[in-house]
């Protein structure tokens, strides 16, 4: 609930600040007959709409799971970010057209010192608002707020450019309002497309948060009875909502009951500490047969000598079927896993060709150690 309240509070501050700045800019924009100030003002109003959209979507995201949507509505926050970016893009297109028209058919402007004061205040206010919003967004892991904060910092640059145009007009008498409007519009378009691409990247599925992945794996490996942890994958269902799976190495002498006593508390701890619903599988590690342990050590040395191999795990020998099997984690720089698999089998076969070698190829979804 604290996260929800903090996000709503920050969004409401953004709505109020942008409405105030937009109203002031509309007034001085009309009095100065300035397309650049007017476009800057409309940008503030679009930011207010964006903040309202944020409030609505955060409320939806907090509804929890339903039968139709068992993973909740957390991802709606990404869609709100997309809506915000589209609003910014459309605003940029509209004022780019208007500014180009003003360049072709210039109209006289009438900037005064009051206009300059308002613009200076607006620059400072936007910097403060942007830093505040972005900090809250990063602290609460709210991508919509982070996007709004970045947009506000970009708006400060836009308003500063508008201020420079007004100064040029007052000092030299030259009317560059249309050109400033084009610059403002291009800033808007750039910010909008960057936000949209970031949201699309999140929806497509990005690499795990490396810091979070490292904390989870290190905590697993530090648990008594667990030898190693591999194959961690975290599936994002909205900010701070993860469903994950991981495989841990357990000694072959451990019973299922003993494994359950170790793994059950870990699942509760992961949910409480990191908000991760973690499903845990396991690999059995031979700790009693010297021959198997020696073969595993040698194969790791052979396979890890290949520059595209990051990890070797899940090693096992099926004597009754004469099968030697293990998993290989490949570097993302490797473009062809089939070729790499063939190369590894050939390398291992030079020393252990009497076995039927089975290799499973994987990618590193979390991080490389």
Give the pLDDT confidence score for residue 213 in this predicted structure.
87
Enumerate the CATH 3.30.70.1350 domain ranges in the chain, comma separated. Answer: 210-363
- Specify the range with the lowest mean pLDDT, choosing from 23-32, 83-92, 139-148: 139-148
**CB neighbours (10 Å) of residue 308?**
18
Q: What does the angle CA 58 – CA 61 – CA 66 come to, to the nearest 5 degrees?
A: 160
Query: What is the pLDDT confidence band of residue 55, given thresholds at 50, 70 and 90?
Result: confident
Cα–Cα distances in angstroms (integers) from residue 154 to residues 14, 134, 137, 350, in the given order: 14, 12, 16, 60
Query: What is the pLDDT confidence band of residue 178, given thresholds at 50, 70 and 90?
Result: confident
* Cα torsion 205, 211, 214, 215: sign: negative
| pLDDT of residue 269 exceeding 80 | yes
Query: If 0-12 CB within 10 Å is exposed, 13-18 middle and 19+ buried, where does residue 151 land?
Result: buried
Write the CB contacts of 290 (distance below 8 Å, at least 6 apart in sequence): none
Give the model confidence (pLDDT) of 111-137 as tens digits: 777 888 888 999 999 899 989 988 988
Tokens read off for 218:
């290190």
- Contact (Cβ atoms closer than 8 angstroms) between residue 18 and residue 47: yes
Give the pLDDT confidence score for residue 150 in this predicted structure.
78
CATH architecture for the domain at 210-363:
2-Layer Sandwich (3.30)
**Cα gap 39→181, rounded to integer Å:** 7
Write the CB contacts of 314 (distance below 8 Å, at least 6 apart in sequence): 230, 247, 283, 325, 326, 327, 360
**CB neighbours (10 Å) of residue 353?**
11
Tokens read off for 301:
């040395």
- Specify the range with the lowest mean pLDDT, choosing from 76-80, 159-163, 283-287, 329-333: 76-80
- Contact (Cβ atoms closer than 8 angstroms) between residue 150 and residue 195: yes
| pLDDT of residue 274 exceeding 80 | yes
Give the model confidence (pLDDT) of 150-166 as tens digits: 778 878 887 888 888 88
**Cα gap 186→196, rounded to integer Å:** 15
- Highest-confidence range of 127-141, 196-210, 301-315, by mean pLDDT? 301-315
Tokens read off for 321:
């079927």
Q: What is the mean pLDDT of the chain?
A: 84
**Cα gap 275→195, rounded to integer Å:** 26
| pLDDT of residue 252 exceeding 50 | yes
Give the pLDDT confidence score for residue 1 in this predicted structure.
57
Give the model confidence (pLDDT) of 204-239 as tens digits: 777 767 888 888 999 999 999 999 998 888 887 766
- What average pLDDT score do residues 281-285 get? 91
Tokens read off for 268:
């509760």
| pLDDT of residue 177 exceeding 90 | no
Query: What is the pLDDT confidence band of residue 341, given thresholds at 50, 70 and 90?
Result: very high
- What average pLDDT score do residues 252-257 get? 92
- Contact (Cβ atoms closer than 8 angstroms) between residue 285 and residue 227: yes
Give the pLDDT confidence score for residue 42 in this predicted structure.
79
Enumerate the CATH 1.20.1510.10 domain ranges in the chain, comma separated. Answer: 2-204
- 209-233 as b/e: b if 16+ CB within 10 A: beebbeebbebbeeeeebebbbbbe
The class of domain 2-204 in CATH terms is: mainly alpha
Give the pLDDT confidence score for residue 369 in this predicted structure.
46
Give the pLDDT confidence score for residue 358 in this predicted structure.
94
| pLDDT of residue 64 exceeding 80 | no
Percent of the chain with pLDDT over 70: 96
Higher pLDDT, 324 or 74: 324
């Amino acid at each position: 609930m604290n996260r929800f309240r903090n996000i709503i509070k920050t969004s409401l501050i953004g709505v109020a600040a942008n409405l105030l700045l937009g109203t002031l800019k509309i007034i001085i924009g009309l009095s100065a007959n300035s397309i650049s100030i007017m476009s800057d003002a409309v940008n503030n109003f679009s930011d207010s709409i964006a903040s309202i959209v944020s409030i609505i979507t955060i409320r939806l995201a907090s509804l929890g799971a339903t039968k139709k949507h068992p993973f909740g509505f957390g991802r709606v926050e990404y869609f709100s970010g997309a809506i915000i970016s589209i609003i910014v893009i459309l605003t940029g297109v509209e004022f780019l057209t208007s500014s180009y028209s003003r360049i072709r058919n210039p109209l006289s402007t009438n900037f005064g010192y009051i206009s300059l004061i308002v613009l200076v205040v607006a620059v400072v206010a936007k910097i403060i608002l942007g830093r505040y919003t972005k900090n809250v967004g990063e602290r609460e892991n709210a991508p919509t707020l982070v996007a709004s904060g970045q947009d506000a910092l970009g708006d400060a640059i836009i308003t500063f450019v508008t201020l420079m145009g007004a100064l040029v007009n007052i000092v030299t008498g030259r009317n560059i309002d249309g050109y400033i409007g084009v610059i403002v519009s291009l800033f808007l378009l750039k910010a909008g497309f960057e936000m949209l691409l970031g949201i699309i990247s999140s929806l497509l599925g990005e690499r795990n948060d490396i810091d979070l992945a490292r904390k989870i794996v290190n905590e697993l490996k530090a648990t008594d009875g667990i030898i190693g942890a591999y194959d961690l994958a975290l599936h994002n269902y909205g900010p701070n909502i993860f469903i994950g799976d991981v495989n841990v190495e357990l000694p072959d002498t451990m019973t299922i009951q003993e494994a359950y006593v170790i793994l059950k508390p870990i699942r509760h701890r992961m949910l409480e500490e990191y908000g991760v619903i973690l499903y845990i599988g396991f690999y059995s590690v031979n700790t009693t047969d010297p021959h198997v342990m020696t073969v595993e050590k040698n194969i790791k040395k052979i396979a890890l000598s290949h520059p595209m191999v990051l990890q070797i795990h899940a090693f096992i020998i099926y004597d009754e079927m004469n099968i030697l099997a293990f998993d290989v984690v490949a570097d993302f720089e490797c473009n062809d896993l089939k070729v790499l698999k063939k190369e590894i089998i050939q390398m291992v076969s030079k020393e252990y060709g009497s076995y039927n070698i089975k290799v499973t190829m994987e990618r590193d979804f979390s991080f490389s150690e």
